[in-house]
Amino acid sequence: MAVERAIVAIGANLPRADGTPAIETCRWAAGRLATIPGMRLVAVSSWWESAPIPPDPRSPAYVNGAALLEGETTPETLLAALHAIEEEAGRARPYPNAPRVLDLDLIDLGGRVREAVAPILPHPRAHLRAFVLRPLAELAPDWVHPVLGRPVAALLPGVADQAIRRLGGKGA
């Protein structure tokens, strides 16, 4: 296996069972990413606040960020590790797009393209979400969508109408 770059989106909009706020859960998750066997945490973006997509007036705003990892893994192994971290945080999946204590999405793994087997790569909606593209542009301004062939900077104007604001400095 070759060393590959992985981009993971981090998000949360509910406190954990112990009352830990969403931003602290996101910071905790970034730290947990550093413990995935075979992977090394290279960088974490700034934290951002965004409105739920699709809009849901019952749902609080999300805290979002992204992490850049490098190492040797398979898509299935990395996805399983992300799901284990979500479960450790207390994630429940009552219905699609439900508010959550933690959401970790594998956005890209070494530019691979996979359409039929989980995880689908690149993430099928990454290019449609400001809460993915803004943090991704900080971490990997050279990233090019493997299917669309467009750099992240060229994708950002397409999500300019989505409500998102930077919360603070970089890092976990």
Q: Please tell me which residue in 32, 100, 129, 134 is annotated as part of the active site.
A: 100
Helical ranges in the chain per DSSP H: 22-33, 75-89, 130-139, 152-155
Run of H or E including 151: none
Q: What is the dihedral sign for C-alpha 31, 27, 118, 3?
A: negative
Q: Please tell me which residue in 16, 32, 58, 103 is annotated as part of the active site.
A: 103
Q: Please tell me which residue in 27, 105, 108, 134 is annotated as part of the active site.
A: 105
Residues 10/139, Cβ–Cβ less than 8 Å:
no
Mark whether 40 is an active-site residue: no
Q: Please tell me which residue in 5, 18, 32, 91 is annotated as part of the active site.
A: 91
Mark whether 150 is an active-site residue: no
Give me the active site residues, please: 91, 100, 103, 105
